[in-house]
Amino acid sequence: MNELDTCFRAFDDIIAKHKLEKIKTIGDAYMAAGGLLNGGGSQLRDMVNAAQEMQAWLAEWNQERSNRNLPVFEARIGIHSGPVVAGVVGSKKFAFDIWGDTVNIAARIESAGEGGKINISGEVHNVIKQYFPCQYRGKIPAKNKGEIDMYFVEN
């Protein structure tokens, strides 16, 4: 728990720095979103920049852990763009959350990724390709979604 807390605290700082929104953690998964208030704009670039910073932080942390013969952690990061429904529901333990097909596709993109890499959808690639070099992975099967164009953002 302490190690996961250390990691997620670093992610919290990175997300805040890029003016993104932490949605929740689910076990060892960390969910964040951008563009919830204004519908996007530069938020996709901010998401990729934050993802790169998270991976860089993990690489540095893992080097320290490796030097002490401790296990290392790798993160798969998936980014997708589209409409969501957002809000708070219920009357106990209020928690802001997001729902919708976009969230489901983002989860599929994350699970189709690889440790230490940032996997993005074709929709995201169309917006950020002029800012970040990417490697096309092809059409990757995604559970209940068919095949989705995916790219790795190059380091």
The pTM assigned to this predicted structure is 0.92
Q: Is the pLDDT of residue 27 over 70?
A: yes
pLDDT band for position 36 (50/70/90)?
Answer: confident
Domains delineated in the chain = 2-153 (3.30.70.1230)
Residues that are catalytic: 108, 143
Place of tokens 């790798």: 74
Mean pLDDT calculated for residue range 42-64: 95
Place of tokens 């929104």: 21
Q: Is the pLDDT of residue 125 over 90?
A: yes
Mean pLDDT taken over the chain: 92
Kindly state the greatest CA–CA separation across the chain.
Answer: 47
Place of tokens 């992610």: 11
3-state secondary structure the chain: CHHHHHHHHHHHHHHHHCCCEEEEEECCEEEEECCCCCCCCCHHHHHHHHHHHHHHHHHHHHHHHHHCCCCCCCCCEEECCCCCEEEECCCCCCCEEEECHHHHHHHHHHHCCCCCCEEEEHHHHHHHCCCCCEEEEEEEEECCCEEEEEEEECC
Task: To the nearest 10°, report the CA torsion of 56, 57, 58, 62.
Answer: 100
pLDDT tens per residue, range 68-82: 999 999 999 999 998
